[in-house]
Structure 1
Amino acid sequence: MTPEEILQIFIERHRLVSPLDPEADETIILSMYSTVDDWRDACDLLPWHGLAKALDDEFEMNATDEEWRSVLKPSYKRTLQDVCNFIGKKSKKGAIEPVKLFGKECLSAAVFKALKNNLSQRNIDTNDIAPSSEISPYIEKYLGEIITETTFLSKGKKVFDSFKPKLKKRGFWNYINIFDNDRYTYPTGGVKTFRDLTLKIVEAKTSE
């Protein structure tokens, strides 16, 4: 994966997540010249050590704390170019290759398999996920994980339009009950099932 593709992943995550996080700043435009401080403000990111661990796990890098510190600090000076170049050099996460079905190569089968595998690695029970499974229940429970894996597989190409939350229940109490974990649903546009999601990712990948 190139540094430019990695940057696009971060940009797309910012586009999707920042409107949902009151601590994030959706007005910031990320680029290779953005500092780590800019990136943190844009996306409400963890301090450097937590961020390093999350990135290291996601991109399968096995980098040391010292290496990450040199890339992420000082945060007012280090840039996304430093981060993306480092990930591009160290990442061991392999590209998706089409699998053979009935003697023909099938990219959609490979993407679906990779999506399930990646979600499973994030401790999500994927045993009941089939191509025809509705995606909404998983979005409601695992929005962050699905955004992370979808943007990775699509290399930051647009798959979802947005996630504008809607209250699932009407009434004043439901409006003010911010502690209800089952409070919101997230409309997904034309992406209704995991088959739809898979095909959108394939479309994004084949448009490279």
Structure 2
Amino acid sequence: MTTKYYPIEILQIIQANYKQQQQYDDIVLKDQELTFETTILEWRDICDLVDTSKLWKYLNYYFRMTADEEAWMNILEPEDEKTLGDLCNFIAILAEKEIIRPIKLFGNYCTTAAIFKSLKGRLKNRGIDVPDLKPSSQLAPLVKKYNSVFIEEINQIDPMVLPPINYKTNWVYKWGLRSFITFLFLTILLICIKSNWAWYKGGVFLIGYGMTWLGGILKPKQASFRDIHTVADLVRRIKVNNPHYNAV
């Protein structure tokens, strides 16, 4: 069973994704405000998003929509004029929002079971292996393994439920990024003054780039949420935040 989103709900999902992204993505701009008035260009710049020619495909996929490229481009372009308000209105009209209702379990209606079932179904649709997912499953290993995909699906169920993620990168990524940035500027400087050392610094810069790429593939050192340790903790918090889910 589904219903329609309100535009504010779409904006809240976008804001929630950004709130988490700025904790684990060093490229995004920190502590910015995303509103209905934010332009698509500003949003892409803040969140380090792909070009609109690719972004529409992701949005189609994420919100389970089937709009064609022309329809999306009319909403996303020109990106210095179109706003998140335009985008949220468009998605709210076409996207379907799942209605979570208690399901009967051992003769009684259970809201937490319905929320768990919804979460499991969403993760499965995103290609996450869920057969062994249980309410007792620890959340941190799941977030470490699936990162933004896992978080984004939670945010669609309840964009207010997750506190900012406690995220620490692995040492490969951390030192790779430092080397990449430091030696990038040194290489540019040495090229400008025509120094032969530029080639050596450039080599270290490439090593730093490689470490950053590899570190991005490896699991982070830490990825957890304060006071939410298991899937059951998460489901219970979603239930508390959404009393309307209790309606049979």
TM-score of the superposition, structure 2-length normalised?
0.75
Alpha-carbon offset, residue 163 of structure 1: 2.9
Alpha-carbon offset, residue 102 of structure 1: 3.5
Instruction: Tell me the SS of whatever aligns to 1:77.
Output: coil
The residue aligned with 1:92 is 96
Alpha-carbon offset, residue 166 of structure 1: 5.8
Provide closer, same or farther for how the CA distance between residues 201 and 145 of structure 1 changes in structure 2, counting only shifts above 3 A. Answer: same
The residue aligned with 2:63 is 59
1:153 aligns to 2:190 (yes or no): no
User: In angstroms, what is the RMSD of aligned CA positions?
Assistant: 2.1
Instruction: Tell me the SS of whatever aligns to 2:163.
Output: coil
Distance in 2 between residues matched to 1:92 and 1:5, nearest whole Å: 12
Please, which runs of 5 or more residues in structure 1 have no aligned partner? none
Provide closer, same or farther for how the CA distance between residues 159 and 203 of structure 1 changes in structure 2, counting only shifts above 3 A. Answer: farther
8 A Cα contact 1:150 1:201, kept in partner: no
Q: Aligned residues: percent identity? A: 31
Greater helix percent: which structure? 2
Distance in 1 between residues matched to 2:174 and 2:97, nearest whole Å: 42
Pairing of 1:38-117 with structure 2 (within 5 A)? 38-117=42-121
The residue aligned with 1:192 is 229
Provide closer, same or farther for how the CA distance between residues 5 and 183 of structure 1 changes in structure 2, counting only shifts above 3 A. Answer: closer
8 A Cα contact 1:16 1:163, kept in partner: no
Deviations 1:43-85 (A, max 9, x none): 1112113221111122222101110000001110000110000
Instruction: Tell me the SS of whatever aligns to 1:186.
Output: strand
Please, which runs of 5 or more residues in structure 2 have no aligned partner? 177-210
The count of aligned residue pairs is 203
The residue aligned with 1:176 is 175
Which one is further off, 89-98 or 190-199?
Answer: 89-98
Deviations 1:90-116 (A, max 9, x none): 013422222122343322111111111
TM-score of the superposition, structure 1-length normalised?
0.88
Deviations 1:119-166 (A, max 9, x none): 111111101111001111111111101110111000x21323323216
Provide closer, same or farther for how the CA distance between residues 164 and 207 of structure 1 changes in structure 2, counting only shifts above 3 A. Answer: farther
Deviations 1:157-206 (A, max 9, x none): 13233232165x8xxx8963643413422132211111111112222222
